[in-house]
Structure formats: C-alpha cells, structure tokens
Amino acid sequence: MIELMTADDHPLIVKNIVWHDEAATAAFAQALASQPAIGRTLIELQGDLGAGKTTLVRHLLVSLGVQGRIKSPTYAVVEPYTLDSSAAHPELNIWHFDFYRFNDPREWEEAGFRDIFASPGLKLVEWPEKAGPHLPPPDLLIHIELQADESRAVTLSAYTATGAELLT
C-alpha cells in the first residue's frame, strides 16, 4: 500500500510492506542498493531491540559491495565504510550510526557528527530518536516491527524527493 502526502512535516510517500523472513529483508536491501539515489541518502531505522535494524543494514552494505566483517556500531557509535572502484557505487562513503547508548542528545553535538551529516554519502542511523533534534530530516524512515509469527511489518516513509526516489 502506498499513500501520498504533501504537508511539510509529513512524509511524501508512505509504503507498508511485510518481510516474512530474512530472505525478504535481503531482497529489499538489494533493491534499495540498486537505486541511484542511495549514495546521497540519510536513512533512519526505528524499531525495538531485535526488530531487524542491524540485519537490514548488513544486507544493504553487502548489496552495495562492502567486503569483510560488518560490525554493529553499538559501542563505537559509528562505523565508516568506503567502497572501492569495483563496487556498484564506486568510492561511496557510508556511515552506520547506532545512537542506542546515547543518554543525552547533546552527545551528538559533542561527538562532532555535524560534518559527517553535511558531507555526501549514505548515512544509516539506528535509534535516531536518541540524537534528539540534532539530526537533519531523513530522506527515508524505515520503521520495523517484529510480529508474533517472526515476520516484520515495515513502514517506509519518504520525507524528501530523494527518499521518494528510493521507493519508486
């Protein structure tokens, strides 16, 4: 289901989907990675612990061509990646943030992340609400909710033209 919206603080597009298993998550990540706009996108991921946020990020990074071990940035807060020239999006800079351990939104400012968010590249942010008002508006918000049958109900909300491009 796709819903179009036009108000300033509301998404341009909202799409609801279900991932029945991890293969569906991987297929979604692969489709997302194939979009030309992915290299200039801020994606926020929301959901409870264990919902599948980091799993989605890992599948997306593999689909983009990241080699080697993909670590969760829960303790480091950010894990940077740069794709080499043989990848689908050569020389793409990627930052995977996990703000779960932030106790105060001011930690975002103190960590010096403003420059990263102002630079080109893909930014993937888990637990964006922990950064408070410091984050710029996302291009795409992915909310993942674990269901009783272990599937995931996913709401995709595009807040910018770039985000809408990813969903079309």
Q: What is the pLDDT of residue 109?
A: 77
Q: What is the pLDDT of residue 79?
A: 92
Q: What is the pLDDT of residues 35-48, one digit of tens each?
A: 999 999 999 999 99
Sorting pLDDT into bands at 50, 70 and 90, what band is 134? confident
Cβ atoms of residues 88 and 62 within 8 Å: no
Cβ atoms of residues 157 and 27 within 8 Å: no
13: Cα separation from own chain's centroid: 16
The more confident residue out of 67 and 95 is 95
Domain extents for the chain?
2-167
Sorting pLDDT into bands at 50, 70 and 90, what band is 87? low
- For 2-167, CATH number? 3.40.50.300
Predicted confidence (pLDDT) at residue 72 exceeds the cutoff of 80? no
Predicted confidence (pLDDT) at residue 139 exceeds the cutoff of 80? yes
Q: What is the pLDDT of residue 6?
A: 41
Please report, rounded to a whole number, the percentage of residues in the chain having pLDDT higher than 70: 90
Average pLDDT rounded to a whole number, residues 64-90? 78
Mean pLDDT of the chain: 88
Predicted confidence (pLDDT) at residue 100 exceeds the cutoff of 80? yes
Predicted confidence (pLDDT) at residue 110 exceeds the cutoff of 50? yes
Cβ atoms of residues 73 and 61 within 8 Å: no
Q: Give the contacts of 48 (CB within 8 A, at least 6 positions apart).
A: 145, 146
Q: Give the contacts of 163 (CB within 8 A, at least 6 positions apart).
A: 11, 12, 13, 41, 138, 139, 140, 157
Q: What is the pLDDT of residues 8-34, one digit of tens each?
A: 568 899 999 999 999 999 999 999 999
> What's the pTM?
0.89
